[in-house]
Structure 1
Amino acid sequence: MGRSFDPLPVDEDELNDLCIRLLLYCESCRLELFTDQAELCVRHLLLVLKLNRTQNLTRITDPNKGLILHVLDSLLLSRYIHSDEQASLLDMGTGPGFPGIPLHILTRYPTVLVDSVRKKIEAVTDIISALDLSSVSAIHTRLEDFALSDYDGFPFVVARALAPLPTLLELAAPLVPLGGRLVLTKGLPKPAEVTSGLRVADIVGFALVDSDEFDLPENLGHRLIFVFQRTAESRVKLPRQNGLAKKNPLA
Structure 2
Amino acid sequence: MSSDLKPEPSAATQLTLAGMRLGIRRVAVLMPGIVVFSVAFGAAASAKGLSLFEAVLMSALVYAGVSQLVAMELWRPEWSWGAIAGLAVVTATVNARMVLQGASLQPWFVRHPRLVNAAHLFFFTDANWLIGTRYHGEGGRDLGVLIGAGLMLWLVWVAATVPGYLLGALVSDPRQYGIDLVMPIFFAAMIVPLWRGKRAALPWIIAGVVALITVRLVDGYAFIIIGALSGAVAGAFLDDPA
TM-score range, shorter chain: under 0.3
| TM-score, normalised by the number of residues in structure 1 | 0.27
**Larger relative helix fraction:** 2
Q: Tell me which structure has the larger Cα radius of gyration.
A: 2
Ranked by relative contact order (alpha carbons within 8 Å, sequence separation 6 or more), the top structure is 2
| TM-score, normalised by the number of residues in structure 2 | 0.27
**Larger relative strand fraction:** 1
